Structure 1
Amino acid sequence: MSGSIAQGTSQTHGNTHILHFLVRLPRPMEDVWPAVATREGLTGWCTAVDVLEPRLDGAVVLGELGSGRVTAWDVDRVAEYGIEGGGRIRFHLERDGDTASVLRFTREFRGETDSESAWRIRFERLVEYVARS
């Protein structure tokens, strides 16, 4: 089974942009969790991570994506990072049978710092990353 990336959607509310993606991954949630909730995992496919304190209100520095705090943390399910300046990155994992999972991704930001195509490339790398692990 290979992963798939559903078409992302993009919304704009005032000067806040919101991206949503649905990514099907060929591994169970427990295997995907480290890719979205650890320094090593995120560095492996998304961005260089300088700091990630894996707990609610822990500090996080996500390379070019910004720095902030962990705003939601439900082990094996939800990792959300609030980025200074009003941004947010949320990874929500769900089971897809016994051997796969679905990632519901949300990215809120202001300005033009991110694009749907940039995240699509990241998610292609994520699919490859979790297939190798």
Structure 2
Amino acid sequence: MTGSVEQGTSQTHGRTHILHFLVRLPGAPHQVWPRLTTPDGLAAWFTAADVLQPRLGGTVTLRDLGTGRVTAWDVDRVAEYTVENGGRIRFHLERDGESASALRFTHEFKGEADSEQGWRTRFERLIDISAP
């Protein structure tokens, strides 16, 4: 299976912006999970995670976005990071067939932040490194 960035939507509510994506990735969820939840995994396609305590309430520091907390954590399914300059970043991973994954992604933030195209570019990198 090849991956794809299938959907991207953007909403604005006052000063709050919400981006949603559905990304289809090669690899089962247990193979993709470390790319979303470890410093090495995140650095390979998104940004360096200088600190990442993999548990609900743990500290997270994403180099390009700031420091915050892990605000949701369900191993192999949901990781959510809420950081001072980056808002809320949520990864919801699901099985997609026998050997693939579907990533439902949400980024909620105020003010200026990454564009939809910026996330598309990152997800293309994630697809590339997830390919067998």
Q: TM-score range by the shorter chain?
A: over 0.9
1:15 equivalent in structure 2: 15
Runs of 4+ in 1 over 4 A off after TM superposition: none
Inter-CA distance 2–41: structure 2 relative to 1 (3 Å threshold): same
Determine whether 1:83 maps to 2:72. no
2:97 equivalent in structure 1: 97
Q: What is the identity, as a one-letter code, of the residue corresponding to 2:24? A: R
Q: CA deviation at 1:87?
A: 1.2
Unaligned runs of 5+ in 2: none
Q: Hey, what's the Cα distance between the residues in 1 that align with 2:86 and 2:2? A: 35
Give the TM-score, by structure 2 length.
0.96
Q: What is the identity, as a one-letter code, of the residue corresponding to 1:51? A: V
Unaligned runs of 5+ in 1: none
Which structure has greater strand proportion? Answer: 2
Q: CA deviation at 1:7?
A: 3.0
Q: CA deviation at 1:67?
A: 1.7
Q: Hey, what's the Cα distance between the residues in 2 that align with 1:47 and 1:22? A: 20
1:44-59, aligned counterparts within 5 Å?
44-59=44-59
Give the TM-score, by structure 1 length.
0.95
Q: What is the identity, as a one-letter code, of the residue corresponding to 1:57? A: G
Identity of aligned residues (%): 68
How many residue pairs align between the two structures? Answer: 132
RMSD: 1.2
